[in-house]
Each structure stands twice: as structure tokens, then as C-alpha cells.
């Protein structure tokens, strides 16, 4: 389906980024997997024979060098999937200012820069797919997540603006807004919450993490990857500027 397409996936060493990279590779794309964890990244890329590039995307020069690497290796970029991100929970008055700067750089500035740098290649081909792995927190807020929520809300705005600018050139830009996904990071959060509250891991998921959702089960990374696959297919040609929710009904009420 995606034969001869060239894709960049950030945050690709594990979790959602890994599943998306695997799906793209299985669909015939040439994938450049990017992450800051070089050892884990190489191990993941070797599993299905794809290229990798170690980069700290909170730094402007690393965003440019990643795209340059892809262009030098393959001559073009067709697909950009922005996944890389972290989450820190802290009240605003206690939130470290340097942590704010880092999170905004990684989760909002980096997607903008990567979009900017791949844009000429996509425009020249009159085809492109940019998908921002957003969050339900790109649409609604939760307390103690000021930097994460701010970055994700900004990503929603960036998605819409880029979609309007890209339509004339065959470039679609969308964001995917899931509730909690079963990744190593989330598994660690569940274990910590269970210990802190003295409840089971299942209760953490249903009573704390997904308290606002109608369907109280965690998403799997492969589910998110399937939505990415759909948006990259011909069926996604007219879907742009959207924030696709996979939230178990979180925002229905």
C-alpha cells in the first residue's frame, strides 16, 4: 500500500512510535525511526530492517539534521509521524521552569520544525501525510499537567493551520487524540498509582485513569498504528485538519 513511500517516525524506540514504524514497514514504506535512546532505537529498528537516527528533538538543530538525513538517504520524505513526548505531573506553582521549556520544545516546537523541514519535499511531490500523535489532552484538560496540556492544545492548532496550508499541494495533516495507551510509560504509572493508593492495577485504570471514559480499557499501540495506516491510505485523501479521538467516549459527555 505504501510501497516506495519514505516515512519519518519520532519516538520510535518503543510504544506507539515502535508500533507505527512496524506497521509502516509492513505496508512497504521505508522508515527512518528516530528517538533519543540510541541503544533501544537500534534494537527496535533492527527487528524489521529499517533505518534509525538518534536525535534529541528538543533541540532545533537535531530536527533539521533528522530531515536532512532522510533526504540524503532517500531523496524525499512522504510521511511524517510526530510521536515523541513525555509527561510530567506537578501543580503549576511547583512546575520546574526548565521542564516546561523542554516539554514545549519536544512536543510542540519539534513537530512544527519537522513539518517545516519536510514541507518542500511533500509540496514538490504534491503528496504528503503528516500525523501528529496528540492526546485527549489536546482537546480537554486535566489538573497538574500544565505543560503537557498546553503542548497538546498547541499541537491541535498547528495541525489545523498546516492542514489549511497543505490542501492545495496534496498534503494532509491530522492529529490522533487517544486516551491512555498501554505503553511502558503508562504501565509504570499504573504500578506507581496502585502502590500509592493501595488499590489494584485494574482499579487504577478504571477508577483513576479512565474515570471519565465510557469504555474503561486501555488502548493498545497497535490500535493507534491502524488509525495511522488508514490516514496514510487513499481512504484518507479528504481527511485533513481533524483531531480523531480514540477516547472510549471521554469527550462524549
Catalytic residue list: 148
What value does the CA radius of gyration of the chain take, rounded to a whole number of Å? 18
Residue 70 CA to residue 74 CA, distance in Å, equals: 6
C-alpha cell at 167: 490542501
For residues 57 and 54, what is the distance between their CA atoms, to the nearest angstrom? 9
Residues 121 and 230: beta-carbon distance below 8 Å: no
Q: Could you tell me where the DSSP H helices lie in the chain?
A: 15-26, 38-47, 60-74, 97-104, 110-125, 146-166, 184-197, 201-203, 221-232
Phi/psi at 244 (nearest 5 deg)?
A: -80, 120
Output the CA angle 130-239-140, nearest 5 degrees. Answer: 75
Amino acid at each position: 500500500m505504501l510501497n516506495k513511500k519514505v516515512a519519518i517516525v519520532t519516538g520510535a524506540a518503543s510504544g506507539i512510535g515502535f508500533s507505527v514504524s512496524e506497521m509502516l514497514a509492513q505496508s512497504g514504506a521505508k522508515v527512518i525511526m528516530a528517538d533519543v535512546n540510541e541503544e533501544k532505537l537500534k534494537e527496535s529498528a533492527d527487528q524489521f530492517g529499517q533505518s534509525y537516527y538518534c536525535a534529541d528533538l528538543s533541540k532545533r538543530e537535531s530536527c533539521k539534521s533528522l530531515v536532512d538525513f532522510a533526504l540524503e538517504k532517500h531523496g524525499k520524505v512522504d510521511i511524517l509521524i510526530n510521536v515523541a513526548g513525555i509527561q510530567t505531573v506537578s501543580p503549576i506553582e511547583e512546575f520546574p521552569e526548565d521542564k516546561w521549556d523542554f516539554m514545549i520544545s519536544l512536543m510542540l516546537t519539534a513537530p512544527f520544525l519537522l513539518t517545516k523541514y519536510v514541507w518542500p519535499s511533500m509540496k514538490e511531490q504534491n503528496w504528503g501525510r503528516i500525523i501528529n500523535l496528540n492526546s485527549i489532552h489536546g482537546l480537554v484538560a486535566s489538573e497538574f499537567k500544565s505543560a503537557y496540556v498546553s503542548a497538546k492544545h498547541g499541537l491541535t492548532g498547528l495541525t489545523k493551520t498546516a492542514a489549511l496550508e497543505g490542501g492545495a499541494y496534496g498534503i494532509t495533516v491530522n492529529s490522533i487524540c487517544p486516551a491512555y495507551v498501554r505503553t511502558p510509560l503508562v504501565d509504570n504509572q499504573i504500578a506507581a498509582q496502585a502502590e500509592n493508593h493501595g488499590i489494584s492495577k485494574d482499579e487504577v485504570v478504571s477508577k483513576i485513569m479512565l474515570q471519565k471514559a465510557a469504555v474503561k480499557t486501555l488502548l493498545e499501540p497497535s490500535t493507534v498504528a491502524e488509525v495511522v495506516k488508514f490516514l496514510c491510505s487513499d481512504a484518507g485523501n479528504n481527511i485533513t485538519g481533524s483531531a480523531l479521538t480514540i477516547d472510549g467516549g471521554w469527550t462524549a459527555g
